[in-house]
Amino acid sequence: MAARGRGASARWAAVGLLVAVLVALPSVVAALPADDADAPAAELRAAVLASEDVGFSGYAVSAGGLALPVSERLTDVADLFSDRTLMRVWWRGPAEHRVDVVSGAGETGVHRDPGGTWTWDFEAGTATRGTPASLALPAPPDLLPAALGRRLLSEAADDELSRAGARRVAGRDALGLRLVPADAASSVGRVDVWVDPASGLPLQVEVFAEDADLAALDTRFLDLDLAVPPADVVAFTPPPEATLLTAPDTEGLIAQAEERAPDVRLPRELAGLPRRSFEGVPDAVGVYGRGVTLLAAAPVPGRLAGGLREALTASPDAVTDELGTRVAAGPLGLMLVTPPDGPAYVLTGTVTLDALADAARRLPGAAS
């Protein structure tokens, strides 16, 4: 047993060294000159959106500075946006890929297939099966530069886009594409997407809050091979000794929101943002906005509202008034609304604190 422990320690010590080397690379590579090209912003965006089926493999790192005041149930999500996450990826397509999160303490792999995902925790020996959902919690694959870049540019208007020069990313020339959201409620100052002109793949994505000099979220490739990886590298079959688990059903959790507020009907617009439609989402849960400016509203039970209020008020920048308590973490706003008549609500999204307050006033039963 001791020998096995020494072997595992040595293995993860080597991994830790690899992590340190890879994370140090971007600043060295970025200092090299890059060749720009005369590619219009709209053309570059079209290339990005067409890159979903481009196969590749490599290493990426995501660094976030968002200290989210969340409960213990969402610590994995909070860590994604507040820590540095090193990922190794093999991408055959949107429904067939693998993303391993690598750290000095262990390794967790997310394997995507047409039926859902397997999450393999090597150290714990657990294999968790998840199914696709219309609304799901963020996972490491969502923070890959290629996936995040396509997502953020998917609903951008032409007049929100401009070129932003060029830089070197992962040893390649990358063309800059800047998105400045036009919605008045948006708390995002700009999004810079650095694109490989040959494949259309986003190589780096930086998200900045309004008037911020440092990115609240920065995800980039460190190393990239533009070749389709073998299918057997992406596929996953749980080992015989693995403990099999089932991921929480997010659609079931959403349905519980309607049980908490069966008679609540959210307005068609909040903070000047139109409501979006998602199949299977009840009237008591609303998602508003487009592109990088999004706002979500959902009722919460009293037992969770108390813990969330405590977490929010612990922030020195929290604002508490008759509407509730709200706080900003970079471009992400979070608010607990406690109407005098009706259920408590959580509002969260990439909107300003003023926009959160305006949305709170329009919720059913809210204070005027």
Q: Tell me the average pLDDT across 237-262.
A: 71
State the pLDDT confidence band at 14, using cuts at 50, 70 and 90.
very low
Question: Which of 13-17, 136-140, 143-147 is predicted with the least confidence, judged by mean pLDDT?
Answer: 13-17
pLDDT for the residue 135: 60
**Nearest one of 92, 100, 317 to 227, comparing CA atoms:** 92
Residues 232 and 211 placed together within one structural domain of the fold: yes
Predicted confidence at residue 159, as pLDDT, reads 96
Would residue 241 count as lying in a domain?
Answer: yes
Query: Does residue 12 fall inside a structural domain?
Result: no
Q: Which residue has the higher pLDDT, 367 or 340?
A: 340
Same domain, 183 and 77: yes
pLDDT: which is higher, 248 or 89: 89
Q: Which H/E stretch holds residue 346?
A: strand 344-349
Residues 222 and 273 in one domain: no
d(C-alpha 168, C-alpha 33), whole Å: 7
In the prediction, which pLDDT does 312 show?
84
Buried b / exposed e over 319-332, threshold 16 CB at 10 Å, is beeebbbbbbbbbb
- Name the more confident of 132 and 34: 132
- Reply yes or no on whether the pLDDT at 75 is more than 50: no
More confident residue, 115 or 308: 115
Containing 6, the helix (H) or strand (E) segment is helix 2-30
pLDDT over 90 (residue 357):
yes
pLDDT, tens only, 165-177: 999 999 999 999 9
Gap between the Cα atoms of 87 and 285, Å rounded: 32
Residue 234: which pLDDT band, with cuts at 50, 70 and 90? Answer: very high
146 has a pLDDT exceeding 90: yes
pLDDT at residue number 335 = 92
Domain containing 285 equals 250-361
Query: Within this chain, do residues 194 and 290 fall inside the same structural domain, yes or no?
Result: no
Q: Is 157 helix (H, G, I), strand (E, B) or coil?
A: coil
Please compute the mean of the pLDDT values over residues 276-299 and round it to a whole number: 84
| Among 246, 263, 290, residue at a domain's last position | 246
118 pLDDT more than 90: yes
Q: Which of 226, 246, 266 is the last residue of a domain?
A: 246
Question: Do 237 and 293 belong to one domain?
Answer: no
Between vectors from CA 126 to CA 122 and to CA 130, what angle results, nearest 5°? Answer: 115
pLDDT recorded at residue 105: 72
Please indicate, yes or no, whether residues 295 and 159 belong to a single structural domain of this protein.
no
For 309-348, the pLDDT digits (tens) are 888 888 888 999 999 999 988 888 889 998 877 778 889 8
- Name the token pair of 5: 């422990």
Q: What CATH number should be reported for the domain holding residue 327?
A: 3.30.200
Domain match, 69 and 150 both = yes
54 domain-assigned: yes
Query: What CA–CA distance (Å, rounded) separates 316 from 333?
Result: 14
Residues 323 and 203 in one domain: no
Tell which wins on pLDDT, 251 or 345: 345
Condensed to tens digits (0 to 9), the pLDDT of residues 168-211 reads 999 999 999 999 999 999 999 999 999 999 999 999 999 999 98
Domain co-membership, 229 together with 254: no
How far CA 35 is from CA of 32, 134, 183, 218, 321, in Å, comes to 10, 40, 33, 22, 52
- Number of independent structural domains in the chain: 2
- Looking at the fold, whether 324 and 304 belong to one and the same domain comes out as yes
Within-domain flag for 20: no
Is residue 71 predicted with pLDDT exceeding 80? no
Burial grade of 214 (CB within 10 A; 0-12, 13-18, 19 or more): exposed
**Residue 341 within a domain:** yes
pLDDT score recorded for residue 366: 66
- The domain boundary, picked from 231, 246, 261, lies at 246
Per-residue pLDDT for 120 more than 90?
A: yes
Q: Of 343, 264, 361, which Cα lies nearest the Cα of 304?
A: 343
Instruction: Give strand pairing partners of 93.
Output: 96
Residue 84 shares a structural domain with residue 151? yes
Residue 140 lies in a domain: yes
Over pLDDT 70: what percentage of the chain?
A: 77
- 99, part of any domain: yes
Q: How confident is the model over 256-268, as a mean pLDDT?
A: 65
The mean per-residue pLDDT over the stretch 258-285 comes to: 77
CATH of the domain at 179: 2.50.20.10
pLDDT over 90 at 364, yes or no? no
Residues 334 and 312 grouped into a single domain? yes
Distance CA 356, CA 288 (A): 12
Establish if 21 belongs to a structural domain: no
pLDDT at 313: 86
